[in-house]
Amino acid sequence: MSEGRRGAWCFEVACVALTLVAAWPILAGRLPDGGDARRIDVPLVAEVGRALSDGERLVWHPDLFNGYHALGAGQSLAVYPPILALLALGFGPEGTLALHGLLHLYLLCRGAAAAALALGGSRRGALLAAATTLLGGQSAQLLPHACHLVGVAWLPWLVALAARAAGPTPGPRPLLVLGAAWGLAGLGSSPPFLWYPALATLLTGAAAGGARGLLRAGLGGAIGVGLALPALVPIAAWTLANPRPDHGDHFAWWSAGGLSAADLLRLLLPGAFSATAEGVWETRAPLGVAALTLALARLLSGRLDPAARVGLALVVAGALLAAPLEPLQRITSALPVVTLFRSPARYLLISQLGVALLASSAVGAARRGGVGRVASGASAALVGLALLLAAAVSVRFSLLAGRADSILSRPDPYLAALGLTAAVVVLRGRRARGLPLLFGALLLELAWAWSGGVVFTPRVEVSEPPAILAPVLAAPPGARRVLDLLHEPAREAWTPARANAGSRWGAAYFLGYESLVPLATMGVEAGLRRTLVPGPPPPGSPGAFALRCAERSVTFVLVQAPVPPSLEHLPRVAVEGEVSLLAVPAPRPEAYAVAPAALRGDAVDTEGLAAAPVEVVAAGRTRRVVRAEGPAVVVVAQSWHPGWEATVDGAPAELLVADRLSLAVPIGPGRHEVVVTFDDPWVDVGLGLGLACWLGLAAARVRAGRGA
C-alpha cells in the first residue's frame, strides 16, 4: 500500500474513532433523556413505524395535542430517508433513534473534515476541525433533538460542497451533489435549522468564489429546496395557519434576546458557572480554548487562505446574529418558518464551524511558518486574558448566587490552561509538535464536554411506559386522553409522565409538553386554566375545571404537588414522586352527539348539554366512522384543520368547529353514518413536486455523467 493511500485510510479510521468515542453512551445502550428525545422524538418516530407497518403515511397523529399535523410541525422525520430505512429494517423507535444519532455524529465529524479539506487544508488540520466541531457543546446538546441534529450534521457537508461548487471550473456535478445534500437536510431537519446551513452555504460560496461562487451556492440551495418540498410545503401551510406569538409573551424565551458579553465569557469556562446557556456552543476546555487560540492567531497573521476566509465569514455572521442587536432579531424572527422556533444563541453553530476552519488553517500555516511569533503571542495573550476575565466573572456570579466554593476547585481552569499550552506549542513549531498533546487531551475533552450536556438513560427504560400512566393505558381505547398540567409553572421538574411518552404506547395527550401545540389547543387549554379557582368547588359539584375537562373528553389530569385545592376532590389513581394522576368524573367519550341546540351559526357550543353515546365503527389514524341517531350534532374529539372532510351516508357534509377545537357534523332525523377523513392537499402537492425534482436531479446527473 502506498504512503498516500495509507494516510487516507488512517484519516478515515481517525474520523470513525472520533465518532465512536463521542458516541460512547449510545454504544453502551443508552439514549438521550431530555430535550425532545422522550417527549417528541420517541412518540413521533414510533407513530411513523406504526404507519409504515399499516401501509400508511404519517400525516396526522391522533394521540398528540388533541390531534397533531405531524408533517406540518416539521419534527416527525416522517419523510427522512434514513429514519424510514431504519424503521423498515425493524430496529424499532428506540433503536432507530440510537442509530440515527450515531450516523449523524459521524456525518458531523466527517463533514467538518471534508470542509477543511475542500478549502485546501491538511489532514491534520481537518482532524482538528472535525474534533472541534464534534466535541463542542452544540453536538452534545442537540443529540436529544433528532430533527435539529439533522441540520447540524449536514451543515459542514454543505459548506464543503459549496466550496467545491465555487471552484474555477467545477462543472455541473458538484452543483447537483450540493443540491442533493440540501434536499436530504431539508427532508429531515427542523425548519429553523435550515437557515443556519443556508447562510453558511452562501457565505462559503461568496468567500471561496466571489459573486460566481455565491450564485452557484444559491443555485444549489434552490435545487435542494425543490428536493425538500415533501417536507417544506406542508410546513409552510401549517405555519401560515399557526403563526407563533410575538416577543413578550410566554414564548419569548424561544424568540427574544441574544448573547451578552457575560454570556460569551461563560463559554470559555462553562463549568465555572452554576448553569450553562442552553443552545450555546460551549467551547469546553481544553480543545475549544486551543481552537480559539489557533483561530485568533490565524487571523492576526494575515494572508488568509480560503479556509481562513470562509472561517472568518462564518464567525462574524454567527456572532452578529447571536448578538442582542434588535434590528437583526426582528428581521430574522419575522422570516417565514423561523417564527416557529428561534433561539438566537444557536446561530453560534455557524461560528463554531468557522472557528474549526480557522484552527485547521492555523495548523497548516504553522507548519509552513506562516504564523509569526507576534501573532502567536498576541493570540495566546488575548485568550489568556479572556480566560482570566471569565474566571473573575465566574467568581462574581458565584458570590451573587450565594456560593462560596472556589473556581480553583473545578477542573475548568486547568483544562483551559492545557488547551492554551497545546495551541502555543502547535504555533511555535513547524513540525506541529503540539498536535499529539492536543489530540491526547481529547479524552479529557470528551469526559468534560458530555458530562453536563446530556442526560442519558438506559434504552430499556425509555422503551417501557412510565409507571404512573398504567391506569391510562389500562383504560379502553378512546378513554385515554390526558391533560398534562406539569409544564407550568415548574418547567424544571422533569418526569417521564410530562413528556408525552404515553403516546408511544397508546395514551392520547389532550395537551402535553411541546412548544408547537396548535393554537386552537393552546387557546382551549388557557381557558381551562382560568377555571382553576383558588378554593375547592361547592359540595356535590365536580367544579368548573372538571366539567370543562369532561366536556372535552379528557379522562385523566397530570398535576404536580401541591395539588390545587380545586382539584383535591378528584380521585387520585396513581402517584409517582411529586406527580399525581387524577381521574376526571364522567368524561364524554371520544365521539358523541348533542342536541341541535348546540348550533351557534357556523360554530358549535356543547357547554352544559347532555352528550348521547354514538356507535364508533372505526377509529383510524386519519379516518373516523360513527353511527348516530338524529337530529343531532355529532362531535369527534380531534382538532379541527382545513384538511378534515366529512360525509353523511356517503354524501359530502358540512364540517363545523365544536367548542373552538373539535370536529362537529350536523345530521338530520334518523340513523346516519358519519365519516370524517383527514387529507391535507398540501401534503400531496409537496410530495408530487418533490418527486418530480428528484427525478429531474437523477436525469441531470446521468446526463452530466455522459457528458463527462
* Distance, CA of 570 to chain centre: 36
Q: Classify residue 374 by burial, with Cβ atoms within 10 Å: 0-12, 13-18, 19+.
A: exposed
Q: What are 361's three cell numbers? A: 488553517
Domain ranges (residues) in the chain: 3-32+71-456, 465-583, 591-681
User: What percent of the chain clears pLDDT 90, i.e. is strictly above it?
Assistant: 17
Which residues, in sequence order, are bridge partners of residue 675?
625, 647
Q: Which of 65-74, 459-468, 494-503 has the lowest mean pLDDT?
A: 494-503
Residue 240: burial class (beta carbons within 10 Å; 0-12, 13-18, 19+): exposed
> Residues 6 or more apart from 547 whose CB is under 8 A from it?
none
pLDDT for 338 beyond 50 = no
| Most confident of the following: 160-169, 335-344, 394-403, 678-687 | 678-687
| Cα–Cα distance for residue pair 245/242, rounded to 1 Å | 9
Which residues make Cβ contacts (< 8 Å) with residue 276, sequence separation at least 6?
137, 266, 270, 282, 452
**Sign, CA torsion 92/95/100/106:** negative
In whole angstroms, what separates CA 216 from the centre of its chain?
29
Q: Which residue has the higher pLDDT, 47 or 290?
A: 47
Q: What cell numbers appear for 540 in the block?
A: 356535590
Q: 247 pLDDT exceeds 80?
A: no
Tell me how far apart the alpha carbons of residues 116 and 206 are, in angstroms, rounded to a whole number. 16
Helix (H) or strand (E) holding 446: helix 442-451
pLDDT at position 471: 92
Gap between the Cα atoms of 57 and 621, Å rounded:
10
Q: Does pLDDT of 593 surpass 90?
A: yes
Q: What are phi and psi of 510, to 5 degrees?
A: -60, -40
User: What value does the mean pLDDT take over residues 328-356?
Assistant: 62
Q: How far is CA 420 from CA 181, 296, 348, 382, in A?
A: 36, 12, 21, 11
Query: Helix, strand or coil for residue 146?
Result: helix
What pLDDT was estimated at residue 340?
41
How far apart, in whole angstroms, are the C-alpha atoms of residue 136 and residue 693? 35
pLDDT of residue 22: 78
Strands of the sheet with 481-484, listed across from one edge: 508-511, 481-484, 556-560, 579-583, 572-576
How many CA atoms lie less than 13 Å away from 111 in the CB half-sphere? Answer: 24
DSSP 64: B
CB atoms within 10 A of CB 501: 24
Distance, in Å, from the CA atom of 389 to the CA atom of 397, rounded to the nearest integer, reads 12
Spatial CA neighbour of 469 closest among 359, 335, 583: 583
CA–CA separation, 179 vs 229, rounded Å? 13
Chain centroid to Cα 294, Å, comes to 31
Strand, coil or helix: 672:
strand
- pLDDT, mean of residues 452-463: 68
Helix 306-322, helix 348-367: angle, nearest 10: 150
- Higher pLDDT residue, 466 or 224? 224
Residue 615 binned pLDDT confidence (cut-offs 50, 70, 90): very high
Which residues, at least 6 apart from 497, have a Cβ–Cβ distance to it below 8 Å? 466, 468, 469, 484, 486, 558, 576, 579, 581
Least confident of 118-132, 201-215, 510-524: 510-524
**Would you state the pLDDT for residue 488?**
47
Lowest-pLDDT range of 1-5, 161-165, 499-503, 504-508: 1-5
Averaged pLDDT of the chain: 78
pLDDT at 251: 35
| Confidence band of 644 (pLDDT split at 50, 70, 90) | very high
CA distance 520 to 539: 33
How distant, in Å, are the alpha carbons of 254, 444, 545, 691 from that of 49?
Answer: 30, 38, 36, 22
pLDDT band for position 282 (cuts 50, 70, 90): very low
| pLDDT, tens digit (0-9, with 9 covering 90-100), for 522-574 | 667 667 767 776 667 776 667 788 888 888 889 998 888 778 887 888 899 99
| pLDDT at residue 294 in the model | 82
Q: Is the pTM of this model over 0.85?
A: yes
pLDDT of 149-182, one tens digit each? 888 889 999 999 999 888 776 678 888 889 999 9
Average pLDDT over residues 6-12: 86
Tell me whether the omega of the peptide bond preceding residue 286 falls within 30 degrees of 0, making it cis: yes
Residue pair 66/141 in contact (Cβ under 8 Å)? The answer is: no
Q: Which pLDDT score is estimated for 569?
A: 84
> How big is the chain, counted in residues?
708
Query: Helix, strand or coil for residue 615?
Result: strand
How far apart are the two ends of the chain, measured CA to CA in Å? 29
Condensed to tens digits (0 to 9), the pLDDT of residues 412-437 reads 677 777 777 777 777 776 545 555 65
Decide if pLDDT at 53 tops 50. Answer: yes
**Residue 55 CB contacts under 8 Å (≥ 6 apart), including other chains:** none
